[in-house]
């Protein structure tokens, strides 16, 4: 069975500081990992994904994520957070086929 | 290229009524998925459809819920005899293929409130 865990319900950072949202995964085969962001009362927007290749993946809005196979992690990062980054972030894994399994989500609050 | 289109965005139903949620996938996408987001819970897979076929409905409640994706027109998620516990955000998503690395794109969601 495939699963992801987001160990932090909330992350609070000051604007301009680095932002990290943690995600660990558990799959029996090769993982296909995704990050999505959800703003209030909106749908999920795709940020980035890891399929294969470079462990550092760059995505939308200045976000990047680092795939670490030994630690089974796929943490989302942004070097300098903006107030507008305040949202709910979901990590997801897709092991085989079509089904995405989502983490519980992490609420990010960036204070001015 | 228009994204995944869902309507209505917000729907209020009284207990016992029917709710119909519609979804048009992105242009060129033939695979449709429905997910549900309950308050204080994460996103849960409900059903995966291709045109005229239900491929996987393992996440669908066994009663009152049904989904279709006809040859022509949008995909429909239908909830009969709604109860308060059905109040949730229902998200439709689509993809062009089902290979594991393929990105699934989500719509803006339909928020159902049962009163």
A65-79 pLDDT per residue, tens: 999 999 999 999 999
Percent of chain B with pLDDT over 70: 96
At residue B44, what are phi and psi to the nearest 5 degrees?
-120, 130
- Cβ contacts of A95 on chain B, cutoff 8 Å: 100
Whether A97 sits inside 8 A of B33 (CB atoms) is: no
Q: Identify the pLDDT of residue B45.
A: 92
Considering only the beta carbons, identify the residue of B6, B56, B104 that sits closest to A100: B104
Q: Identify the pLDDT of residue B64.
A: 97
Burial code of A42-65, b = ≥16 C-beta within 10 A, e = fewer?
Answer: bbbbbbbbbbeeeeebebeeebbb
Q: Identify the pLDDT of residue A29.
A: 81
Considering only the beta carbons, identify the residue of B44, B100, B106 that sits closest to A96: B100
Cβ pair B21, B12 in contact under 8 A = no
Whether A44 sits inside 8 A of B106 (CB atoms) is: yes
Q: Which of B10, B106, B107 to mutate to test the interface with A (most CBs of A within 10 A)?
A: B106
Give the pLDDT means over successive 10-residue stretches in chain A (112 positions): 90 97 90 93 92 91 95 97 96 80 94 96
Q: Which residue of A has its CA nearest to B112?
A: A41
The model's pLDDT over B29-45, given as tens digits with 9 standing for 90+, comes to 889 999 999 877 789 99
Counting Cβ atoms within 10 Å, is residue A40 exposed (0-12), middle (13-18) or buried (19+)?
Answer: exposed
The model's pLDDT over B88-111, given as tens digits with 9 standing for 90+, comes to 999 999 988 766 668 899 999 999
């Amino acid at each position: 069975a495939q699963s992801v865990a987001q160990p932090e319900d909330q992350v609070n950072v000051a604007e301009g500081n680095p932002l990290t949202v943690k995600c660990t995964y558990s799959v029996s085969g090769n993982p296909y990992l995704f990050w999505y962001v959800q703003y209030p009362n909106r749908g999920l927007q795709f940020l980035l994904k890891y399929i294969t290749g470079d462990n550092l993946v760059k995505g939308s809005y200045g976000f990047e994520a680092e795939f670490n196979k030994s630690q089974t992690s796929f943490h989302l990062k942004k070097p300098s957070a903006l107030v507008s980054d305040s949202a709910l972030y979901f990590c997801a894994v897709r092991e085989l086929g079509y089904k995405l399994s989502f983490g519980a989500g992490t609420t990010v609050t960036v204070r001015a | 290229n228009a994204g995944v289109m869902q309507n209505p965005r917000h729907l209020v139903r009284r207990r016992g009524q029917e709710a119909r949620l519609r979804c048009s996938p992105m242009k060129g996408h033939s695979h449709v998925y429905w997910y549900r987001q309950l308050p204080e819970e994460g996103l849960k897979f409900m059903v995966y459809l291709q045109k005229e076929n239900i491929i996987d409905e393992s996440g669908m409640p066994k009663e009152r819920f049904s989904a279709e994706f006809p040859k022509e027109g949008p995909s429909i998620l239908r909830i009969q005899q709604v109860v308060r516990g059905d109040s949730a955000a229902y998200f439709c998503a689509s993809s062009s293929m089902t290979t594991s690395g393929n990105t699934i794109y989500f719509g803006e969601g339909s928020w159902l409130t049962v009163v």
